[in-house]
Amino acid sequence: MGAEQDMVLVVGGAGYIGSHTVRVMADLGRRVIVLDNLSTGHAQSVQKARLIVGDAGDVRLVTQLVQEHAVRWVIHFASFSQVGQSVADPAMYYQNNVARTVDLLYALCHAGVRGFVFSSTAAIFGDPLTALIDEAHPKNPVNPYGRTKFLVEQMLGDLERAHGLRSVCLRYFNAAGAHPDGSLGEWHEPESYLIPLAIMAALDQRGPLQVYGSDYPTPDGTCIRDYVHVMDLALAHVQALDRLADGGSSDAFNLGNGAGYSVRQVLDIVGKQAGRPVPAEWAGRRAGDPPRLVADAARARSVLGWRPQYPELRDIVAHAWRWHEKRG
């Protein structure tokens, strides 16, 4: 039995990855509603679905939505996700990412929701002990953001044992890119992620890019990350939901392309797209940043059948560029 006709509630569906997932689901003919308080999301990013403006931690509202719309499945994106911000203001991260999620899960467990897909992160692993990080890698987050996500993953196990709520945690590495048609993209205020900042600097939409750290233990001294196209991440959420609907057990999957790019390499690719070097200024390291994070996503491919459509960084950058050019 699949989830094709069941109602899905996407919490945080007006944000970056959430809005792309909602669009993919709607294009597939899935029934979906969005709950978002618009603290970081944008109403205009919700396409082909109904938006309810409200808080994920509002137990009464969540319970009402589940009952009124016969919600059977929930996908949760409503987390703050900036590493540096989490180091500067950890209480805000524990309040939003943990406390509000506890209230959300309380409502879902008592309202009969059958399955939960959680937007997790590679930040739960901390400094890598191996070149490629698989699901069995030790979990030792080095920043509050990663710790909040790991706490939720641990809670989900307790809730399944107590209430039968099955879940899939998707630990993605660096989300990037935009919808290929340019109608959706990465839109944070303020922006803090490398690829959009580099594109904005190259388009003269902001000042020079601040690059944090050039003395990491990597070949060129800058951090290495595994960039995953947002449309590929969106598809993984749909596949995770279908796994639960088909009776699959709770699980966790790493999502990445298995190829790391340094900050200098990213700037080079953006510069080639722009036709000129990206204006950049070099600064010291940022607290909480591991030198290298690259995924081993073999389990997602074998168990979920996940096949990234856009694994090349040049395609990720090209789609993101199109979005920023259209937005102006």
- Closest to 253 (Cα-Cα) out of 174, 172, 170: 170
Distance CA 251, CA 256 (A): 17
Residue 298 confidence class, pLDDT cut points 50, 70, 90: very high
Out of 18-22, 74-78, 280-284, which region has the weakest mean confidence (pLDDT)? 280-284
Share above pLDDT 70 across residues of the chain, in percent, rounded to a whole number: 98
Task: For residues 44 and 170, state if they share a domain.
Answer: yes
Catalytic residues: 145
Residue-level pLDDT at 84: 85
Task: For residues 282 and 148, state if they share a domain.
Answer: no
Per the structure, the complete domain to which residue 61 belongs is given by 7-175+228-255
Residue 153 confidence class, pLDDT cut points 50, 70, 90: very high
Task: For residues 214 and 248, state if they share a domain.
Answer: no
Residue-level pLDDT at 55: 97
Distance CA 138, CA 63 (A): 36
Q: Say what the pTM is.
A: 0.94
Residue-level pLDDT at 1: 42
Residue 328 confidence class, pLDDT cut points 50, 70, 90: low
Where on the phi/psi map is residue 221: left (φ > 0), alpha (ψ -120 to 50), or beta? left
2 belongs to a structural domain:
no
Q: What is the mean pLDDT of the chain?
A: 94
Distance CA 120, CA 174 (A): 11
Residue 83 confidence class, pLDDT cut points 50, 70, 90: confident
Q: Which residue, of 214, 238, 255, is where some domain finishes?
A: 255
Share above pLDDT 90 across residues of the chain, in percent, rounded to a whole number: 89
Residue-level pLDDT at 286: 81
Which runs of E-coded beta strand occur in 130-208? 166-172, 174-176
Cβ neighbours, 10 Å, residue 102? 15
Q: Under a CB-based contact definition with an 8 Å cutoff, are residues 236 and 306 in contact? A: yes
Task: Give the ranges where 28-143 is alpha helix by DSSP (H).
Answer: 59-68, 83-88, 90-93, 100-109
Residue 192 confidence class, pLDDT cut points 50, 70, 90: confident
Q: For residue 276, what is the domain's CATH number?
A: 3.90.25.10
238 belongs to a structural domain:
yes
The first and second tokens of residue 295, run together, are 């995924």
54 belongs to a structural domain:
yes
Distance CA 225, CA 262 (A): 6
Task: For residues 25 and 57, state if they share a domain.
Answer: yes
Q: Under a CB-based contact definition with an 8 Å cutoff, are residues 35 and 101 in contact? A: no
User: Number of folded domains in the chain?
Assistant: 2
135 belongs to a structural domain:
yes
pLDDT digits (tens, 9 = 90+) for 86-140: 999 999 999 999 999 999 999 999 998 989 999 999 999 998 999 999 999 999 9
Instruction: Give mean pLDDT, residues 244-265.
Output: 96
pLDDT digits (tens, 9 = 90+) for 25-74: 999 999 999 999 999 999 999 999 999 999 999 999 999 999 999 999 99
32 belongs to a structural domain:
yes
Task: For residues 98 and 204, state if they share a domain.
Answer: no
The first and second tokens of residue 95, run together, are 């309040």
Task: For residues 306 and 170, state if they share a domain.
Answer: no
Task: For residues 246 and 208, state if they share a domain.
Answer: no
Residue-level pLDDT at 236: 98
Q: Which residue, of 238, 255, 272, is where some domain finishes?
A: 255
187 belongs to a structural domain:
no
Distance CA 287, CA 59 (A): 35
Residue-level pLDDT at 2: 56
Residue-level pLDDT at 305: 96
Which residue type sits at 147? Answer: R
Q: Under a CB-based contact definition with an 8 Å cutoff, are residues 32 and 8 in contact? A: yes
Residue 191 confidence class, pLDDT cut points 50, 70, 90: confident
Task: For residues 30 and 45, state if they share a domain.
Answer: yes
- Closest to 10 (Cα-Cα) out of 147, 19, 120: 19
- Helix 16-27 crosses helix 230-245 at what angle (to 10 degrees)? 60
3 state DSSP class of 121: strand
Task: For residues 245 and 321, state if they share a domain.
Answer: no
Q: For residue 233, what is the domain's CATH number?
A: 3.40.50.720
> Tokens 């510069």 correspond to what residue?
271
- Closest to 225 (Cα-Cα) out of 280, 285, 291, 128: 291
146 belongs to a structural domain:
yes
β-bridge pairing 292-293 and 224-225: parallel
- Closest to 2 (Cα-Cα) out of 42, 38, 29: 29
> Tokens 């007006």 correspond to what residue?
14
Task: For residues 237 and 311, state if they share a domain.
Answer: no
51 belongs to a structural domain:
yes
Task: For residues 58 and 149, state if they share a domain.
Answer: yes
All residues at 6 or more sequence positions from 300 whose CB lies less than 8 Å from its CB, including other chains: 236, 253, 254, 255, 306
Task: For residues 73 and 199, state if they share a domain.
Answer: no
